[in-house]
Amino acid sequence: MSLLPILLAAEAAVHQQAVRRTAYRHRAIRDEPFVVVVYNLAGEAAAPLAFLYGTDPDAGKLVVAPEPRNREVRFACINAFCADLVDYIHPFLETREQLVGNLGHQYPLEVALDAPQIVVPNRATRDYLGTRLGRSLRYLGLGKTHPVPEATQWAGAHLSWLAEHARMPGQSVFLAATELLGRHFVTGQSSLEDENLATLLAWIRNEQGSGLGAIRRAEDQRIAFGPVPDPGLDQRLESHVQAFGRAVRAGDEKTQAEHRRAVEDLVREPLAVAYRATHEALDLMRPIPEAASVDKRWEADVREWGAHARRCSRQIPRFSRRHEALRAARMLELWSRAQEDLEIEEAFDDPLVMAEFDAEGRCVSGSVLEVDDENYEIKPGNKRRSQVPLVRLLASTAPELLEGDETRWTRDRRLGGAIRRITQTRRGWEVEIAILDGHNRGERLPAERETTAFVALSTFGGRSPDGPDEVPWTHRLRRDEPLGGDDLSGTEEAAGVGDAEVVLADTEDEIGPDLAPEEVVAPPGVVGRPDEIPGVLL
Shortest gap between Cβ of 48 and other proteins (angstroms)? 12
Q: Which helix (H) or strand (E) holds 363?
A: strand 363-372
146 near other proteins (CB under 8 A): no
Q: Measured between alpha carbons, how far is 211 from 193 in angstroms, rounded to an integer?
A: 17
DSSP 310-330: HHHTTS-----SS--HHHHHH
322 near other proteins (CB under 8 A): yes
190 near other proteins (CB under 8 A): yes
Residue among 288 and 434 whose Cβ is closer to other proteins? 288
Q: Pick one of 191, 339, 440, 459: the residue that binds other proteins (CB under 8 A).
A: 191
Query: Rule CB under 8 A: which of 497-516 touch other proteins?
Result: 508-513, 515
Query: Rule CB under 8 A: which of 359-388 touch other proteins?
Result: 359, 361, 363, 365
Q: Measured between alpha carbons, how far is 420 from 391 in angstroms, rounded to an integer?
A: 10
Residue among 411 and 420 whose Cβ is closer to other proteins? 411
467 near other proteins (CB under 8 A): no
Q: Which one of the spans 128-136, 329-337, 376-384, 417-425 is the region binding other proteins (CB under 8 A)?
A: 128-136
Helical axes 231-250 vs 71-89, angle rounded to 10°: 110
Residue among 468 and 535 whose Cβ is closer to other proteins? 535
148 near other proteins (CB under 8 A): no
Choose among 325, 315, 322, 309: nearest CA to 142: 315
Q: Pick one of 355, 364, 393, 401: the residue that binds other proteins (CB under 8 A).
A: 355
Residue among 68 and 116 whose Cβ is closer to other proteins? 68
Residue among 148 and 307 whose Cβ is closer to other proteins? 148
Residue among 312 and 362 whose Cβ is closer to other proteins? 362
Residue among 229 and 472 whose Cβ is closer to other proteins? 229
Shortest gap between Cβ of 467 and other proteins (angstroms)? 28
Long-range CB contacts for residues 238-243, cutoff 8 Å, separation at least 24: 240/66, 240/266, 241/49, 241/66, 241/67, 242/67
Residue among 326 and 511 whose Cβ is closer to other proteins? 511
Choose among 475, 464, 467: nearest CA to 326: 475
Q: Are 287 and 280 in contact (CB under 8 A)?
A: no
Q: Which one of the spans 36-44, 112-120, 308-316, 441-449 is the region binding other proteins (CB under 8 A)?
A: 36-44
Interface with other proteins (CB under 8 A), residue total: 94
70 near other proteins (CB under 8 A): no
Residue among 23 and 300 whose Cβ is closer to other proteins? 23
453 near other proteins (CB under 8 A): yes
147 near other proteins (CB under 8 A): no
Q: Pick one of 43, 108, 213, 428: the residue that binds other proteins (CB under 8 A).
A: 43
Specify whether the backbone of 236 is left (phi greater than 0), alpha (psi in -120 to 50) or beta: alpha
Q: Which one of the spans 15-23, 175-183, 271-279, 439-447 is the region binding other proteins (CB under 8 A)?
A: 15-23
Residue among 279 and 323 whose Cβ is closer to other proteins? 323
Q: Are 407 and 393 in contact (CB under 8 A)?
A: no
Q: Measured between alpha carbons, how far is 511 from 351 in angstroms, rounded to an integer?
A: 51
42 near other proteins (CB under 8 A): yes
Give Cβ neighbours of residue 196 (< 8 Å, ≥ 6 apart): 122, 178, 218, 219, 225
Query: Rule CB under 8 A: which of 239-278 touch other proteins?
Result: 241
Shortest gap between Cβ of 198 and other proteins (angstroms)? 15
Look up residue 447 and give its DSSP letter.
P
330 near other proteins (CB under 8 A): no
Shortest gap between Cβ of 174 and other proteins (angstroms)? 19
519 near other proteins (CB under 8 A): yes
Q: Measured between alpha carbons, how far is 184 from 200 in angstroms, rounded to an integer?
A: 12
Shortest gap between Cβ of 421 and other proteins (angstroms)? 22
Q: Pick one of 99, 192, 402, 505: the residue that binds other proteins (CB under 8 A).
A: 192
Q: Are 497 and 324 in contact (CB under 8 A)?
A: yes
Query: Rule CB under 8 A: which of 384-423 touch other proteins?
Result: 396-397
91 near other proteins (CB under 8 A): no
| φ, ψ at 466 (rounded to 5°) | -90, 150
Residue among 42 and 109 whose Cβ is closer to other proteins? 42
Q: Measured between alpha carbons, how far is 59 from 414 in angstroms, rounded to an integer?
A: 47
Residue among 388 and 395 whose Cβ is closer to other proteins? 395
Q: CA triplet 507, 509, 510: central angle to 5 degrees?
A: 65
Q: Pick one of 55, 79, 131, 375: the residue that binds other proteins (CB under 8 A).
A: 131
13 near other proteins (CB under 8 A): yes
Q: How are beta strands 429-437 and 390-395 bridged, if at all?
A: antiparallel
Using CA atoms, how far residue 17 sits from 5, 29, 279, 350, in Å, is: 15, 24, 21, 22
Task: Kindly tell me the burial class for residue 310, based on how many C-beta atoms sit within 10 Å of its own C-beta (0-12, 13-18, 19 or more).
Answer: middle
346 near other proteins (CB under 8 A): no
DSSP 449-492: T-EEEEE------PPPSS-TT---GGGPPPTTS-BTTB--TTSH
Residue among 17 and 117 whose Cβ is closer to other proteins? 17
Q: Which one of the spans 19-27, 28-36, 275-283, 387-395 is the region binding other proteins (CB under 8 A)?
A: 19-27
Shortest gap between Cβ of 438 and other proteins (angstroms)? 20
Q: Are 350 and 292 in contact (CB under 8 A)?
A: no
Q: Measured between alpha carbons, how far is 272 from 224 in angstroms, rounded to an integer?
A: 11
